[in-house]
Amino acid sequence: MWWLSALGGLVAVATGLLRPGDALDVIERIAPVLVFLVAVTVIAGLADAAKVFEVAAREAAHLGRGRTWRLWLLVVILATALTVVLSLDTCAVLLTPVVLAMARQLDIPPKLFAFTTVWLAGTASLLLPVSNLTNLLALHRFDQLGLGLRDYLGLSWRPAIAAVVITVVVLALLFHRDLRRTYVVPETPGLDDKVLFWGSAGVCIALGPAFVTGIQVAIPASIGAVALVVLFAVRRRSELTWALIPWQLVITVVGLFLVVGALTAHGLEGLLGSIAGTHGQGLAADLRLTGTAAFGANAVDNLPAYLAMEPVAAANGHRMMLLLIGVNCGCLLTLWGSLATLLWRDRCLAAGVRISWWSFLWRGLVLTPIVLIGTVLALNLG
């Protein structure tokens, strides 16, 4: 997908569909997001090398005491926390292979944990700006509306809680037979280097409070990444490779935004405004906006869908949160609905777990309407 995105971005600029000045404006806007993406990916990769997530998953297996439903609830907590603090992409990339390997070792059907990670990676990504790249991009518009981090949290916390609770309930209903299983508690893996483990764990834990201070999130993420790079340079230099840099993801994001910027400059905003509605109050109007955003995310990926619809939702913070609900929680119908879903499927295939498009779609059709309606209702309670 990255090469197609890059080609689209180059064509948009080379043909003049997007003027060079406008292209620079797009890149300048998303630059802090890209810095954050690179930094948090480096942190996650090094934390994984230090066995932070493996130990966390195995400790969850111990705390589950042989009961699958207990283990699953602990994985729910771990996936939610990882998504909220380190973003949905981190949850998809790092937690998925760990829980699938754990399911295989414990002889538990893997789809229970596979869908738990990918669904919560989407629906748990509303609470903090750092939880999703779309949220980070929305901060720019929130600032223009005179709304700060506290205002964002005031809008996000109710729908964020509703989204997670609804997701957990639907998962429990769909996989109720698997949740009745038992397993033999495994041994906790040994640590090759306790300094690397505790240093990496400390950085991951510290990021949570740092991200809600109101500081530009790229700053603490960059500090954490540099700290871990220095620590690994001293303790285990072999882990410091260029593979830690998510260059394909960066190219994909830049290309998608250039293409959508070109389309927006040539009438896309007006078309989307006529579909989603540019004004109006009440539940029907809110669901119209959120539903349009969800449709766009499943059609072309949630990042370009967000950028295309941002002008339509820019009137106030309430409409902006409706847009985020649509692109974050509503992108779980197609395997290309978000970059996190694509990354998740790659990890599933690498672990020998095949998730067909139909298997993903029919389960998504059960969850998505319920979670969208529930989160919109929760937002209106505020």
AA identity, residue 205? I
Question: Is pLDDT above 80 for 5?
Answer: no
Q: What are phi and psi of 97, to 5 degrees?
A: -65, -30
Residue whose entry in the numeric block shows the structure tokens 């700006």: 129
State how far Cα 97 lies from the chain centre. 16
More confident residue, 53 or 380: 380
Tell me 184's DSSP state.
Answer: P
Taking the complete model, does pTM exceed 0.85, yes or no?
Answer: no
CA distance 215 to 226: 17
C-alpha distances in Å from residue 366, one per residue of 122, 174, 288, 361: 15, 9, 19, 9
Q: What is the mean pLDDT of residues 232-249?
A: 90
User: Is 55 in contact with 191 (CB distance < 8 Å)?
Assistant: yes
Question: Is pLDDT above 70 for 291?
Answer: yes
C-alpha distances in Å from residue 24, one per residue of 3, 19, 258: 20, 9, 9
Over residues 160-200, the pLDDT tens digits come to 999 999 999 999 999 999 999 998 877 766 788 999 999 99
Looking at every residue in the chain, the average pLDDT score rounds to 87
Residue 285 tokens read as 């109007």
| Domain assignments of the chain as residue spans, ordered by start | 2-381
Over residues 269-287, the pLDDT tens digits come to 666 666 766 666 788 889 9
Q: What is the mean pLDDT of residues 38-55?
A: 86
For a pLDDT cut of 90, what percent of the chain falls above it?
A: 42
Q: What is the mean pLDDT of residues 302-324?
A: 89
Tell me 236's DSSP state.
Answer: -
Question: Is pLDDT above 80 for 117?
Answer: yes
Question: Is pLDDT above 70 for 67?
Answer: yes
Residue 177 tokens read as 């037979």
C-alpha distances in Å from residue 298, one per residue of 123, 125, 193, 291: 14, 16, 42, 11
More confident residue, 102 or 237: 237
* Nearest C-alpha neighbor of 156 from the set 327, 310, 382, 340: 382
**DSSP helix, strand, coil percent of the chain (3-state; round to 5):** 80, 0, 20
AA identity, residue 8? G
